[in-house]
Structure 1
Amino acid sequence: MLTTTVCVALSAAGLAIAILTAYRRRYVRATRIAAFALIPVGLAMAGLAELGGKVGRAVGDWAADLVFKPSLWAGFAVLAASVVLFAIARIAGRRKGRGAVEGKTARPGVEPGASAPAVGPGRKPAQPAPKAKQGRSDGLDDFDDIEAILKKHGI
């Protein structure tokens, strides 16, 4: 009840300011002020002002518990342990995956872990890309790379 009264008072004050601004022939500004002035009444009528109060009280209670309850700190410790375990599992998974790829004999010209290209009947497997020529400064090195990629894929 008190929240609704405060919201109505704020809206009334804002509308009064909007009327004074319109009297000075600043209509665009007066319209903006009126729009902002109607927000508190709208929040009160929709019940969102009371909801905001309940959320504020809940956050305040949680903050008080954060200071005075050791079990809440223990909860944060458990969450931290969970994050550390996830990080360890991720690092261990990366090391295991890398070691398995390094142990295999890789074909020349193929990245470790890359899948083999599909070779249909009558087609030869793609040859490794030729080495780029050294000493060319006319900007054609990029085209040589593109040409090698296209040849690799049989285009």
Structure 2
Amino acid sequence: MIAETVCSAVSAAGLGIAAVTAYRKRFLAAARIAAYSLVPVGLVMTGVVGWLADTAFSPAAWAGFGVLGVAWALFATTRAVERRRGGTRAERKAARSAQQRDGVAPTASAPSLGPATRPATRPAAAPRANSADDFSDIEAILKKHGI
């Protein structure tokens, strides 16, 4: 009985805060606060609060919550280790076999290219006579583009 009264009071207070927030023209925040405020009343109406009140004083229920906590900790630990290692054992084995098939550098054993297929190297640039020749290339490019 007391749990239902507390939940109703919490909901009423939350709806009051939502009304004040809506008065301040923050309608989205007010709607969110109202939604959170209605949750305790909904839990009371569905009977969850009564079940929780009965469960809170049951040693078997607390032992069950402890077992659930241990199970969750095991799931979280194994998932963290799995991420750190890079997947499950089967995933690592498949990745290892794919790497061995493909090789690190599959083209490394191919013969090197001959001298005829290599790109030609540019000859060393001849020194310019004066600085006016430096701008002649730029002027030619600008004239080509109509600038």
TM class by shorter-chain length? 0.3 to 0.5
Q: Which has the larger radius of gyration?
A: 2
TM-score of the superposition, structure 2-length normalised? Answer: 0.41
TM-score of the superposition, structure 1-length normalised? Answer: 0.39
